[in-house]
Amino acid sequence: MERFSISMEDDLLEKFDRHLSRRGYSNRSEAVRDLVRKTLVDEEWESGEEVVGVITLVFDHHQRQLQEKLTEIQHDHCRIIISSTHVHLDHHNCLEVIIVKGDAGKVRELADRLKAPRGVKSSELTATTTGRRL
């Protein structure tokens, strides 16, 4: 087994440690290994395989042009979007929930693109395969 060190902002590490204690991890290494495994499993989805899922975005309502950007990205992928719902969370934040179904590669590409713009505070793709080949 190899060892390596990770630099992390204090507040992020604090949140991570709270997450670990809630999940019952006894050390950070095991938690990081689990995160890496999860990421790799997610990446194993191949193009040609159908997935269904939800993309959950929280973003800054005041970030200039952000809403327009996110809408434009969704229009570029409208074939795999079944539905989307926008919730005005509070004065600053919006929540958008996008239900997707389609080629795994395209779903991932959409999720990645929605993550990128400045002002997107969190973006999460939760999905599962349907077992269907496209």
Residue placing its CB nearer to Ni ion in the complex, 88 or 118:
88
DSSP assigned state of 55: E
Residues 6+ apart with CB under 8 A from 106: 47, 77, 80
CA distance 62 to 40: 34
For residue 6, the 8-state DSSP code is -
For the chain, what is the largest distance between any 2 Cα atoms, rounded to a whole number of angstroms? 48
CB of 13 vs Ni ion, minimal distance in Å = 31
- Give the whole-angstrom CA distance, residue 65 versus residue 49: 34
Q: Which stretch binds Ni ion (CB under 5 A): 41-49, 51-59, 82-90, 114-122?
A: 82-90
What is the number of the residue whose Cβ is closest to Ni ion?
94
Binding Ni ion by CB under 5 A: which of 94, 104, 111, 127?
A: 94
Task: Please choose, out of 19-27, 43-51, 88-96, 99-107, the segment that lies near Ni ion by the rule CB under 5 A.
Answer: 88-96
Site size for Ni ion (CB under 5 A):
2
Binding Ni ion (rule: CB under 5 A), the pick from 18, 19, 33, 88 is: 88
Binding site for Ni ion (CB under 5 A): 88, 94
